[in-house]
Amino acid sequence: MKRFALFCIFLLFVQYSVQVPQYENCLSEVLPAVDQQRCIKVTCTSQNKYKIEECNCAKNAGQHLGEIHSEYPVCCPRCSKI
């Protein structure tokens, strides 16, 4: 039972350690391995060309734990009014 509990904790840790890019008209193989865990939107215009949109916040108001490990745009931080 103790091992099962540790395994569940490990699975939760793995789940909450990854940000997922959103892909539009392309597969994840388009990005280098470094970029595959960023909070971005990737739009492919042709086989070798793609455009990346990132979160755009002048001032970060913080975020909840579940949001930073979700798919774009949910993983973007909440913006505060300047």
Report which DSSP code applies to 71: B
pLDDT in tens, the chain (82 residues): 888 888 777 666 555 556 778 899 987 788 888 778 888 899 999 888 999 998 887 666 666 555 667 788 888 877 766 5
Residue 56's identity, in one-letter code, is N
pLDDT of residue 52: 92
What's the confidence (pLDDT) of residue 43? 94
Give the residue among 10, 32, 36 at the shortest CA–CA distance from 22.
36
Q: How much is the pLDDT for 44? A: 93
Nearest-10 Cα torsion for 36, 64, 74, 40: -30
